[in-house]
């Protein structure tokens, strides 16, 4: 059985974090799943909420808000130091709702594509439409111009923009 560690970074958003964790734990997974929550010095009771509502999550409470990379690195170091590190690790934003089966599909894809080292899933808004922030281009003056003027909304212009994939 494959194993997956899910790392969720949080700062003062107990509400979003609770929804994210609930979406992960709602559907059983076919892989050995470990959830890591890193709380970046929240003052809204986020860490207590995790302890009370999601005791299966491994909680790391950082005494400082060192930012995104710092928080994720706290969990990644702990994961790598584990006796049996997972096969795969997912960095997940706390505002994410994970659809049932999505984590199993992710692991299945990675198992069958051993040459893949990083996966960026399709990002959808709550209404099911594509989150256009997921198709960011390489930051050039031209790209900035198209985005700031709104021209990037036109598909023929957006297709011409270089994209990082």
Could you give the domains of the chain?
3-112 (3.90.550.10), 123-165 (no CATH)
d(CA 90, CA 24): 12
pLDDT band at 159; cut points 50, 70, 90: very low
40-54, 133-147, 151-165, range with greatest mean pLDDT: 40-54
- Percent of the chain clearing pLDDT 70 (strictly above): 87
* pLDDT surpassing 60 at residue 55: yes
Q: Is 50 exposed, middle or buried (0-12, 13-18, 19+ CB in 10 A)?
A: buried
The mean per-residue pLDDT over the stretch 59-88 comes to: 95
Q: Under a CB-based contact definition with an 8 Å cutoff, are residues 64 and 41 in contact?
A: yes
The mean per-residue pLDDT over the stretch 98-112 comes to: 93
Indicate the range of 1-10, 42-51, 105-114, 132-141 predicted with least confidence. 132-141
pLDDT band at 72; cut points 50, 70, 90: very high
Q: Which pLDDT score, from 0 to 100, does residue 134 have?
A: 67
Q: Which pLDDT score, from 0 to 100, does residue 137 have?
A: 64
d(CA 34, CA 4): 6
More confident of the two residues 52 and 136: 52
């Amino acid at each position: 059985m494959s194993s997956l560690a899910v790392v969720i970074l949080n700062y003062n958003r107990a509400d979003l974090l609770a929804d994210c964790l609930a979406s992960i734990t709602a559907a059983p997974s076919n892989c050995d799943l470990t959830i890591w929550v890193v709380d970046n010095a929240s003052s809204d009771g986020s860490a207590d909420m995790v302890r009370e509502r999601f005791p299966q999550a491994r909680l790391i409470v950082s005494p400082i808000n060192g930012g995104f990379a710092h928080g994720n690195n706290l969990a990644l170091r702990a994961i790598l130091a584990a006796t049996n590190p997972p096969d795969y690790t997912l960095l997940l934003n706390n505002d994410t709702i994970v659809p049932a089966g999505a984590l199993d599909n992710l692991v299945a894809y990675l198992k069958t594509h051993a040459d893949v080292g990083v996966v960026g899933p399709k990002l959808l808004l709550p209404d099911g439409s594509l989150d256009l922030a997921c198709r960011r281009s390489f930051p050039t003056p031209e790209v900035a111009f198209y985005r700031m003027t709104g021209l990037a909304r036109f598909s023929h212009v957006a297709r011409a923009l270089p994209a990082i994939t």
